Amino acid sequence: MNPHFDPAALPLIDHRIYTIRLRKMNAFLEVFDRLAMPILLETLGNPVGAYTSLVGPQNQFVHLWAYADLADYERRSRARDTHPDFPAYLAASADLIVAQETRLIRRADLATMRGR
């Protein structure tokens, strides 16, 4: 997690939700941390955060990444997708993930939040 994240500096967020197979969250987190995170840190930079569901739909892992704009998102995503070690993560996590949602969301410009 990045405690110094400034949402005003990077207004585009890649909001990913993975639904994990029942009773496999710990196995998924281990695979994600061991195989995906080194690649993601190298290609995407520091995440805004990573979370697991507590209330609402269960067995969900959420991670958020910030970008300056769509071109920045596309450039860094291409670097992730073409990283030579990324297929090992995809293979190791394939039986653990049952669904994936990817959303690009942008910061709302609210006057009450400026300067915060």
The residue extents of the domains of the chain are 12-106
User: What's the CATH class of domain 12-106?
Assistant: alpha beta
Spacing of C-alpha 4 from chain mean position = 17
Query: Nearest Cα to 13, choosing from 53, 51, 68?
Result: 68
Question: Hey, is 23 helix, strand or coil?
Answer: coil
Please report the pLDDT score of residue 5 as a whole number.
54
Q: What is the pLDDT of residue 3?
A: 45
The rounded distance, in Å, linking the Cα atoms of 13 and 91 is 26
Q: Which one, of 42, 43, 49, lies nearest residue 78 by Cα?
A: 43
Per-residue pLDDT of the chain (116 residues; tens, 9 = 90+): 444 556 567 899 999 999 999 999 999 999 999 999 999 999 999 999 999 999 999 999 999 999 999 999 999 999 999 999 999 999 999 999 999 999 999 988 888 877 66
> Which H or E element spans position 62?
strand 60-67
